[in-house]
Structure formats: structure tokens, C-alpha cells
Amino acid sequence: MSDSSTKLPIDRVVGVVGLGYVGLPLLLAYARAGYTAVGLDIDPSKPEALQAGKTYIKHIPDSQIVEAQSAGRLDATTDFSRARDCDALILCVPTPLDEHFEPDLSYVVSTIESLVPHMRAGQTISLESTTYPGTTDEELVTRVEAAGFQVGKDIHVVYSPEREDPGNPDFAATNIPKVVGGVTPACLEAGIALYTSVFDQVVPVSSCKVAELTKLLENIYRAVNIGLVNELKIAADRMGIDIWEVIRAASTKPFGFKPFFPGPGLGGHCIPIDPFYLTWKAREYGVHTRFIELAGEINRSMPDYVIHRTMEALNSRGKAVKGSRILLLGLAYKADVDDMRESPTFALLDGFKRLGAEVTYHDPHVPVVGPTREHMEWAGMKSLDWTEENLRSQDCIVISTHHQAFNLLQLATTADLIVDTRNAMAGIDTPGGQVVKA
């Protein structure tokens, strides 16, 4: 599918709606490929930053934005009427869960409804937001057709799941194979042209539903296996076995085994959320996805396990959690990024505070807690400075994210008690009882 004849003509304008961790790299990819790239977002701070040549995502340097602007190929705005100027519109908006762990498609719905008045014949519309099978047909196609367009003739509608992995040095946006499904064969052809223009490999599938379920399978696979190893971690701990040593040994098998690693819970926008999009939709068909839901329950329980292990560790030193000074290392959900979406550290902050601890955090990638849907009470909290005095003053330090920026050798010589949820202290000489794995 990489034949240049299938590509979008270079004089076309590509719009990206939603300029977060998925949308911004995609916007820049089209600009680098020579297209005019227009970014749309309801948050004015993002277009303002891009217009000023500034990034707001740590692993994307200012230089990429300045380069695209200097070439006259990058624009960003909150004005959705600019959608009329675009030959293709790619929707990269959030699809969170509500308080009942059911899909919240409000961002998708409000976005398509904001775009429809400005659509014109000849455009291609692609949804990239992770969602349940049928969303593209039920939410996009119905609204496009209600506006008087014939899908497959006037407007081409496709679904292509994002596969962005923030901070992964081996895979950027364009060298990850791109799955795409279309509502009609003509839609699929338009989607292939849109994505072949910047992606090394495009993987066409027979329908939008297949593409939607593909993304869910990818992340359910990870969520279930992480749930399995999290459950084994608790069992191994009760048996006095180091689960990390077990995983290392099992990983020597050259076939039939892929290592997954335990932690304090799941984070990021995909793995903690995506499985519930399928469980919700499956109920419509009378299917109860017990295996997936069990993995979700286990993974959501892991912060409580870490808190329990911390209580045990403090009790062994004659201290109660209430009144103890506890420092959490790492607010981002994964190592070496600034992405704090769905981070299990928030659950740890909530839990320790509820128990009366004086809880703080340190994360060089997240110097200040930004606004979140579920944890607004922590917004504005600042990262505690990494100083010897601050480290020594803590009753317990919990490693919740293993950033390379942490000086673990210094931590070992200054901290009184370390609860390690990531096996970060492995290989570092520490006195007996200083490090507790959780």
C-alpha cells in the first residue's frame, strides 16, 4: 500500500482535531510530509503554544514545531469553521469511562456535531479514538448522513485506531503499522490514501467494526496479562517468592511466553479503559466477558495492595500510616514521560491521604499536577524537590514509576524505608529491611 499513486495529493490540507498525545504527533507528521496541517482543539492553550513555536508534550521538542511553522505547513486554532478548508479531518479526542465504568462518547459526539456544519463534499473523516465496535457507524455516519451527505460518495468515513506509545524511542507515529477500515470500499480507498501519505505501512481491514475491535483486542491482551502477573505477584509474595526472579527465569523460554510486569496498577488512556468498552458493548449481545472484567478488578485493586504493604512496612518499624510522611516517586503513569492520564499514583495519593498520611510526590516530568477529570483536588500540587534533606525526612518512599532521572544510588543511602512497586532497586546494595517490594 506504499505506492505513491495511492497517496493523498501533496496539495491537500489535513486537519487533526484534538491536539494531545495522539493528535500532535500526527499533525506534525503530515506537516513534515509536505502537507498543510491544521490543528483544531477546544483548549486554547494548545493552539496558542503551537503558534508561539512551543511544545506542551515533553518528548516532542520545540524544534519540530518551529520547523513546520517555518515551512508554512502548520497552523492551529480553536475555530472549527476551519474544518471547511480541510480535505481530510482526523479525530483524536478522548474516550474516557464514566463513574459507572461505561463508555463516555461525549467528546466524540460533540466533536462531530461541531464539524458537521462546516463539512463539504469531497472530505475524508477518520476517527482514531479508541471505542467499541459500531461507534463509527452509529455516531459518525448517522450524523454525516443527517446533514445530507451520502457516505461513500460525498463524504468518506473511516476508522483507524491510534497506536501511539508516548516516549517510546523505537516507535514514532509513522513507523507503526496503521490499521484502517472504511464504511464502504470507496471510503476504505480514501482512508488508505490518507494514511499511506505518512505511514510506512497501512493495514486495510474489511470494516470499521473490525478496526475498532482490533484496537480493543490489542489493549485487552495487555490488560489481561498484566492482571495475571499482578495476581501472581500477590500469591508469590505470600509464598515468600520474588515474582521478578520468576519472570526473569520464565523469559528465558524462547517460545510461548512473553513477559509482562506487575506494578501499582494500570495507567495511561488505553489499557485501564479500553477493555470496558468491549465489556459494555458485549452486554448488548447478551455476552458477559468475565475474563476481561476479572482482570480489570485485579488491576484496579493493586493500589490498595501497595497501600497495605506500605502499612505493614511502617508497622514493622513501630509507625502508623496516620501522621507518617510518605513520598511517592513518579506521578506519570509510565517511565520517562510526562503523561499522567489514569496514573495509579493518583489512587495512592487518595488512599494515603484518606488514612491520614502526609503524602507528597516527586516527578521531574510532572512539576505541577494539571487538571484531571477524576482528581481535581490534586490540581496545582507541586513536585517535592529532590534533595537529601527531603529524602531523609520521609518515613517511607514509594516508587510508583521508575523514571531514569531518579538517582537510586542516592536514594539507597538516604531513605529510611523504600516500598518498591517496580523492582527499581534491583541490583542496588541496600541494608536488610530497607526495601520492601509491593
- pLDDT tens-digit map of 190-240: 999 999 999 999 999 999 999 999 999 999 999 999 999 999 999 999 999
**Cβ–Cβ under 8 Å, residues 22 and 164:** yes
Domain limit, last residue, from 206, 241, 267: 206
286 and 429 inside one domain: yes
102 and 238 inside one domain? no
Q: Does residue 94 sit in the same domain as residue 161?
A: yes
Q: Does any domain span residue 94? A: yes
Same domain, 226 and 102: no
Q: For residue 335, tell me if it sits in a domain.
A: yes
Q: What is the pLDDT of residues 116-135, one digit of tens each?
A: 999 999 999 999 999 999 99
CB 328 within 8 A of CB 362: yes
In this structure, the answer to whether residues 200 and 92 fall within a common structural domain is yes
User: What's the number of domains the chain is made of?
Assistant: 2
What mean pLDDT do residues 391-419 have? 97
Instruction: Tell me the chain's radius of gyration from C-alpha atoms.
Output: 23
Q: Supply the pLDDT for residue 107.
A: 96
When pLDDT is averaged across residues 155-162 and rounded to a whole number, the result is 97
Residues 91, 168, single domain; the answer is yes
pLDDT in tens, 352-394: 999 999 999 999 999 999 888 788 899 999 999 999 999 999 9
What percent of the chain lies above the pLDDT cut of 90? 89
Q: At how many degrees (to 10) do helices 290-315 and 274-284 cross?
A: 140
State the pLDDT at residue 5. Answer: 54
- Mean pLDDT is lowest, of 266-270, 349-353, 377-381, for 266-270
Whether residue 307 is contained in a domain is answered as yes
Same domain, 292 and 343: yes
Q: Looking at the structure, do residues 110 and 26 belong to the same domain, yes or no?
A: yes
Residue 334 has pLDDT above 70, yes or no: yes
Is residue 399, in this structure, part of any structural domain at all?
A: yes
User: Is 214 part of a structural domain of the chain?
Assistant: no
Band (pLDDT 50/70/90 cuts) for residue 89 is very high
**249 and 125 belong to one structural domain:** no
In this structure, the answer to whether residues 265 and 185 fall within a common structural domain is no
| CATH number where 409 lies | 3.40.50.720
Q: What gap in Å lies between CA 248 and CA 190, rounded to an integer?
A: 46
User: What's the mean pLDDT when you consider all of the chain?
Assistant: 94
Q: In what order do the strands lie in the sheet with 13-17?
A: 74-77, 36-40, 13-17, 88-91, 124-127, 156-159, 178-182, 202-205
Residues 198 and 230 in one domain: no
User: Residue 143 belongs to what domain range?
Assistant: 4-206
- pLDDT of residue 1 exceeding 50: no
Q: What is the pLDDT of residues 56-80, one digit of tens each?
A: 998 899 999 999 999 999 999 999 9
Catalytic site residue from 92, 187, 270, 396 = 270
In a domain, 84, yes or no: yes
Output the pLDDT for position 2: 42
Assign 170 to helix, strand or coil: coil
From start to end of 78-200, where are the E strands?
Answer: 88-91, 124-127, 156-159, 178-182
172 pLDDT tier (thresholds 50, 70, 90) = confident
The rounded percent of the chain whose pLDDT value lies above 70 is 99
208 is catalytic: no
Is 238 inside a domain boundary? Answer: yes
Is residue 173's pLDDT more than 80? Answer: no
Pairwise CA distance, residues 90 & 126, whole Å: 5
Judge whether 215 lies within some domain.
no
Are 44 and 74 found together in one domain? yes
